[in-house]
Amino acid sequence: MPLKRNAGLVLGIWFTAVLPVSAGMTVITLTDIARARLDALSFFVAGFFFISWVVKCLWNHLAKTFTKLPRLDYRRALGLVLLSGLMFYVVLTMISGARELLTPGAWEKQGVGYRTREGGVAELSKDVRRTALRELQEGIWGYAKAHDGKAPAGPLVAGIEPRLWRFPGGGLYCLMPDVTPGVGRDVLVYEPSSAGGRRFVLLADGSIEDRSEGTLKRDLDEQRKP
């Protein structure tokens, strides 16, 4: 036992003494980035073990009151915390994926997080927005000719180029169901919320109008009534 203790002490002194070696000797060390990542990783690993211990203590404390709960040892607590963390990771990944699908190209990476791109919608002129909506209208009308005059069931269906459904300022154009192209003046397609307070709408007769968000909401509610 004393031999093992002395060996551990010698190794500890040796590792400590190696760090400040200089005078032209070759010393292999981590880069600043690698050292920072190692520090962050060690912090989270230590936090993981500490949280697992807290979970074990809380679980066993509750088990004294709720006798049907099984006792939880430290090994099972580690597994429980790991599984819970993976579940949260999957949920957050799904949220991030849905956000990118709804607003493609509207986010840019900044550090470890993301932020909206500056000036995306503000830089879009009405002519650009109107032209993009007109191109989508041509795609819908072409689809209707090939499908007995019916509009597509939803965005990104086969028969229309997917790029036409993407609003230049981020997001996808919104399609109203049960509207026949060329018949009436119901709203067929309208711009997403990323367009701002006023949005362009494509009516069933092929005309494009500019409506405020409040007016558009009222018109859509009226249109959805049976």
In this structure, what are the phi and psi dihedrals at residue 114, rounded to the nearest 5 degrees? Answer: -130, 155
% of the chain with per-residue pLDDT over 90: 13
Contact present, 187 and 200 (Cβ < 8 Å) = no
Contact present, 203 and 185 (Cβ < 8 Å) = yes
C-alpha count within 13 angstroms, C-beta hemisphere, residue 27: 13
pLDDT at 120: 46
Shortest CA distance to 104 belongs to which of 93, 96, 113, 112? Answer: 96
- Identify which has the larger pLDDT, 56 or 10: 56
pLDDT at 121: 45
* Structure-token pair, residue 204: 């069933």
pLDDT at 97: 74
- Identify which has the larger pLDDT, 116 or 215: 215
Task: For residue 29, give the 3-state DSSP assignment.
Answer: coil
The predicted-structure confidence for 28-67, as pLDDT tens digits, reads as follows 666 777 777 777 888 888 888 999 999 999 988 888 888 8
Provide the total of helices (H) and of strands (E) in the chain, helices listed first.
5, 6
71 DSSP 8-state letter: P
pLDDT at 44: 86
Q: In whole numbers, what is the pLDDT of the chain averaged over residues? A: 79
pLDDT at 110 over 60: no
pLDDT at 102: 66
pLDDT at 76 over 70: yes
The predicted-structure confidence for 80-102, as pLDDT tens digits, reads as follows 999 998 998 888 888 877 766 66
Quote the strand ranges of the chain, DSSP E.
Answer: 107-110, 113-116, 174-175, 187-190, 198-203, 208-212
pLDDT at 133: 92
pLDDT at 115: 59
pLDDT at 135: 92
User: Rounded to two decimals, what is the model's pTM?
Assistant: 0.47
d(C-alpha 199, C-alpha 209), whole Å? 8
pLDDT at 28: 65
Phi-psi category of residue 24: left, alpha or beta, with phi > 0 → left and psi -120 to 50 → alpha: left
Task: For residue 73, give the 3-state DSSP assignment.
Answer: coil
The mean pLDDT value for 68-80 works out to 88
pLDDT at 201: 92
User: What residues contact 70, with CB distance under 8 A and at least 6 apart?
Assistant: 63
d(C-alpha 126, C-alpha 68), whole Å? 65
d(C-alpha 137, C-alpha 150), whole Å? 13
The mean pLDDT value for 106-132 works out to 66
> Could you give the residue ranges of the DSSP H alpha helices within 103-177?
126-146
